[in-house]
Amino acid sequence: MDLLNTLVDKGLRRELPTREEALAVLATSDDDLLDVVAAAGKVRRHWFGRRVKLNYLVNLKSGLCPEDCSYCSQRLGSKADILKYTWLKPDEASQAAAAGLAGGAKRVCLVASGRGPTDRDVDRVSETIRTIKEQNEDVEVCACLGLLSGGQAEKLREAGADAYNHNLNTSEGTYGDITTTHTYADRVDTVQKAHAAGLSACSGLIAGMGESDEDLVDVVFSLRELDPDSVPVNFLIPFEGTPLAKEWNLTPQRCLRILAMVRFVCPDVEVRIAGGREVHLRTMQPLALNLANSIFLGDYLTSEGQAGKADLDMIADAGFEVEGADQVTLPEHRAAAAGGGCGSHESAGCGSVCGSHEGANGCGSHADADGCGSHAGADGCGTASAAANEPRPDLVAVRRRGAGTDLAPNA
């Protein structure tokens, strides 16, 4: 297929595809799907080999967010039966992080619900970052606290944060349809503040909210322009009790096309499969590793994920390997541009490699708004009898373990 050959050539040269080419990827047929995956896989392997970076979420403060992001289980007015608790203490957060690191995670993503942090909140999170770094050698830390005010990104970096996550979520043209309490421009401003402070910028999207192909291409092209080091791709979890609870628009094939399009547009960037992979990719998750080079391990912010051991087995069975703490995530030209390697932990506050997370559906302020990924039990798949595009609320399970509880985490 001439389109795919062109896109591979452009990806290997870091050349931006045209909007028409990106739209054409989303419009390919199921008969061509494996060809699309194989083509995007060439680009992924060129820049990242067969390494898969593991990230682990710690929800520092859950629920009761004043923002009205329609996709979020922690939103204002949410009736979702999620865990609600105030700030974890630094030692509690460090203990939660240690569980993910023991399971093979390289990065810990610290997330808190809310519009944005107060200066006191930044001081609190800074203490948590220092505690985690003192107690866990060679860990990357990414913060996701919502909209930043002047000087806050610099304080987080001084405390040892490697990255900051804040997703654009959807196109500028449709942003007002999902959130009214802050603007698309507010989000862009926060990503720029993080970047300017020397933090590795992490910013991604949420697919499955009823957006068009044009909306998806718009937001991915906007992300390319912002130039984050990490792009998390979240697939909406239609959480009961949220305005988008009935939006079951994704199939595994659709998810794979979206990931391929993101890879072609952002060839040398860490592309992470974030919230919703277990719910929407289901048994196709291993195939998606040919497109993305990063995933979350275990549970998400307010929903359960695939068992950590199942994630590790999936990676090995698909012929990939877990990225080690001594390996730099990003290609050399990206790591060098940021002053060398937070991916290899050569610099505590470096703003390079890092990935990001936002867990899953990144709320207007905090991170995974809708509680992200969910699980489907240990194997993360759908049942054999379910149609590919049939709603699967049985795969959405509220997190009842890990951070904020007395039960062991799923890592």
CA separation for the pair 400, 72 (Å, rounded) = 17
- Asked if 374 contacts 393 with a C-beta cutoff of 8 angstroms, the reply is no
Do the domain assignments include residue 262? Answer: yes
- Asked if 288 contacts 52 with a C-beta cutoff of 8 angstroms, the reply is no
Do the domain assignments include residue 37? Answer: no
**Residue 272 annotated as part of some ligand binding site:** yes
Q: State which residues of the chain have pLDDT below 70.
A: 74-78, 80-81, 338-389, 398
Determine the pLDDT at residue 388: 56
Total domain count, the chain: 1
Do the domain assignments include residue 24? Answer: no
Determine the pLDDT at residue 80: 66
Q: Which residue is it, tokens 């390289």?
A: 106
CA separation for the pair 289, 245 (Å, rounded) = 28
**Residue 381 annotated as part of some ligand binding site:** no
CA separation for the pair 297, 106 (Å, rounded) = 10
Longest CA–CA separation in the chain, Å: 56
Alpha helix stretches (DSSP H) within 197-342? 213-226, 252-265, 285-288, 308-317, 332-337
Determine the pLDDT at residue 402: 76
Domain ranges, residue 196: 42-395
CA separation for the pair 372, 82 (Å, rounded) = 12
Q: Which residue is it, tokens 């547009």?
A: 265
Do the domain assignments include residue 72? Answer: yes
Do the domain assignments include residue 162? Answer: yes
pTM of the model: 0.87
- Asked if 242 contacts 75 with a C-beta cutoff of 8 angstroms, the reply is yes
Domain of 338, CATH number, reads 3.20.20.70
Do the domain assignments include residue 6? Answer: no
Do the domain assignments include residue 167? Answer: yes
Do the domain assignments include residue 8? Answer: no
Using DSSP's 3-state secondary structure scheme, residue 229 falls into: coil
Determine the pLDDT at residue 70: 77
Determine the pLDDT at residue 81: 64
The per-residue pLDDT for range 232-264, each reduced to its tens digit, is 999 998 888 888 888 999 999 999 999 999 999
**Residue 72 annotated as part of some ligand binding site:** yes
**Residue 65 annotated as part of some ligand binding site:** yes
**Residue 142 annotated as part of some ligand binding site:** yes
- Asked if 234 contacts 279 with a C-beta cutoff of 8 angstroms, the reply is no
3-state secondary structure string, 281-304? HHHHHHHHCCCCCEEECCCCCCEC
